[in-house]
Amino acid sequence: MSGRFHRRRLRTVLALCLAFQLLPGQALGVTKSQVDRACAASSSALAEYRRASAAFEEAARAYSAASLEVDNVLYRQGRTAETLDLRRGAMEVAEDRFQQQAVEAYMSGGGSNSALFLAASSLDRVITTTEFLSAAGTEEHDAAGDLAALQGELVTLQGQLSALEVELRAVEQQRLDAKNQQETAMNADQAAWQKLDGECRAIQKRYEIELARAAAARGSASAGISAAATPGFICPFPGSSFINSWGAPRSGGRGHKGTDMMGPYGAPLYAVASGTVYTGNGGLGGKTVWLIADYGTGFYYAHLSSINVSSGNRVGRGDVVGYNGDSGNADGGSPHLHFEIHPGGRGSSAVNPYPTLIAACR
């Protein structure tokens, strides 16, 4: 996309945003039947858009579920590998203990077991021979029992790890299929939106804002933040596609605290307000930008492919802060901007950004 296109989109988005913020507390009151009447001249295009929008939402939720499965398998794989490493360490300790007993038995004059220790090709052979089991003392029996138990655990854990590797390949393929379906649905959704005429598009947008407000629970974090509390807010990712995924399950038992805005890799991401930026690189978010607006609200951008600002610097509304990507735990998935709003600034609790985004974007 050209810079001219993005500047034109930004001017349009800003104008719409400001128009909606003139009456932040007033309900729009747009109904589906009003949309149908206003879009009578392009009814077929509206029907196509509604189908495409529903298909994208379904595909986006399917992709989210597939990504969660990948994260869960990776988590189980990591925990199993950690346990395996711990058991291997315990095995080394148990082997040292068992071998020390062989040395002590030999140095004290030997016994029926000292010859077994020295002649056997492996400790497995020692602890499973009839001669050892019949002649071993209590301490030797205990050491042998520890070794046998640990060997059994190692075999079980190695089997589990192999099974998880197979499972991981399967769920990664499912995620790839879901990713492709989501991107196809996203392109169809955006193309269908462009087919609506100006009047139809304007009232459909108002209707979508009304739906977002109705779906949000008033007085809670899922309700988002009022337009009056984010003056001059503009879309951080024009042309992106997104759904209301607030609270959706994520790895580690977390709930989703933002909106995932899907779009082309490397597309520019814009400062939604004037303020100060702080950059980061690592963890779940990968390459990140915190924008603390002059009015105090914090905006969090995650999974960027690259960052276009320096930490501690000021930016103006509409400046490019970075570029869309898949860094952090989004690696290998659909490139997207994970966007959060924190009314109390960095470190405060997040609120649902979807109602704000649906009013400012498209």
pLDDT at residue 267, as a whole number: 97
- The angle subtended at Cα 269 by Cα 265 and Cα 272, nearest 5°, is 155
Give the strand pairing for 268-270 and 306-307: unpaired
Whether residues 50 and 185 share a domain: the answer is yes
pLDDT at residue 324, as a whole number: 97
Whether residues 19 and 111 share a domain: the answer is no
160 half-sphere exposure, CB direction, 13 A CA radius: 17
Give the strand pairing for 320-323 and 268-270: antiparallel
pLDDT at residue 345, as a whole number: 92
> Per the domain annotation, does 215 fall within a domain?
no
Residue 103's domain is classified under what CATH number?
A: 1.10.287.620
**Cα distance from N-terminal residue to C-terminal residue, the chain:** 15
* DSSP string across 152-221: HHHHHHHHHHHHHHHHHHHHHHHHHHHHHHHHHHHHHHHHHHHHS-HHHHHHHHHHHHHHHHHHSPTTSG
> Per the domain annotation, does 203 fall within a domain?
no
Domain count, the chain: 2
Whether residues 50 and 160 share a domain: the answer is yes
Whether residues 18 and 49 share a domain: the answer is no
> Per the domain annotation, does 300 fall within a domain?
yes
Give the strand pairing for 320-323 and 286-293: unpaired
Write the CB contacts of 81 (distance below 8 Å, at least 6 apart in sequence): 161
**Tokens read off for 233:** 């807010």
Whether residues 148 and 251 share a domain: the answer is no
> Per the domain annotation, does 244 fall within a domain?
yes
> Per the domain annotation, does 47 fall within a domain?
yes
pLDDT at residue 103, as a whole number: 61
> Per the domain annotation, does 206 fall within a domain?
no
> Per the domain annotation, does 214 fall within a domain?
no
Residues in a beta bridge with 315: 275
Whether residues 51 and 189 share a domain: the answer is yes
By residue range, what is the domain housing residue 308?
3-25+225-360
Whether residues 47 and 188 share a domain: the answer is yes
pLDDT at residue 102, as a whole number: 61
Whether residues 92 and 230 share a domain: the answer is no
Whether residues 59 and 134 share a domain: the answer is yes
Identify the domain boundary among 196, 217, 244.
196
Residue 274's domain is classified under what CATH number?
A: 2.70.70.10
Whether residues 120 and 147 share a domain: the answer is yes
Q: What is the mean pLDDT of each run of 10 residues along the chain (362 residues)?
A: 40 39 48 91 92 93 90 89 87 76 59 49 51 50 70 88 93 92 91 92 89 65 81 95 82 79 95 97 93 96 97 97 94 91 92 91 80
**Tokens read off for 109:** 């004059």
Whether residues 62 and 142 share a domain: the answer is yes
pLDDT at residue 14, as a whole number: 39
* Rounded Cα distance, 210 and 35, in Å: 12
Whether residues 270 and 173 share a domain: the answer is no
pLDDT at residue 217, as a whole number: 55
> Per the domain annotation, does 201 fall within a domain?
no
* Rounded Cα distance, 326 and 337, in Å: 8
Contact between 233 and 360 (Cβ < 8 Å): yes
Identify the domain boundary among 156, 177, 196.
196
